[in-house]
Amino acid sequence: MYEKRKWQSDIYYNFNYVEYLPKDFDKTQKYPLVFFLHGAGERGDDLELASTHGFMKHVREENKEYPFIFIAPQCPQDKYWGCYTESLLKFLDYICDTLPVDRDRIYLTGLSMGGTGTWMLAMADPERFAAIAPVCGSGIYWYGCSLVNTPVFMYHGDCDEVVPIQESISMLNSINKHGGNARLKICYGVGHNAWNIAYSGDELVNWFLSHKKQ
């Protein structure tokens, strides 16, 4: 089941967000959390947009079920995720305080603008996440050393003309050069919609769930 909600804060940006809870949700149990950042085309104040792509697309269209809590905040129109790094981290604190989240299994992912946001948020607080999956996003190569202890799984189309695949290749090289654990799945013949591959099937779900903070 999923619901549309709004976070109320007197200090930080008040995100509208989509919340998905697993079937037979039991608040006495702890659940993994997937924190999702959408792309530029889903900005605004219509929460239907925030769940257009990614895991929620399959929940909405196929009634697919996932074994994790899923949270998707919405970025305001004409802004980008980097404007809200501190607010996003405080919002994540709120989610962890109000839902039964296993704090050793918090996963971060996003596509396009949200893929870039994934890099930014993970680098701002790398100890927070058990694993991250940026999809066709642009990174910050010189700071790849900050993610040496964070497992990374990237997806990127080799025909992407919006965010060139070299962005992910450069992040892969930067992280692994410093001894990190990053991998890149190149989606051959795919343009700027590698998210259709990344979030379909169970490859990324299983990869996420195989990681836990040590």
Q: Which residue is it, tokens 């980008």?
A: 80
Domain ranges of the chain: 2-130+193-209
| Element containing residue 113 per DSSP (H, E) | helix 113-124
What is the value of pTM for the model shown?
A: 0.97
Phi-psi region of 24 (alpha: psi -120 to 50; beta: other; left: phi over 0): left
pLDDT of 1 reads 67
183 CB burial (10 A radius; 0-12, 13-18, 19+): middle
- Per cent of the chain over pLDDT 90 is 95
AA letter at 62: E
The verdict on domain 2-130+193-209 having CATH code 3.40.50.1820 is yes
- pLDDT confidence band for 190 (50 / 70 / 90): very high
- Interatomic CA distance for residues 142 and 139, integer angstroms: 9
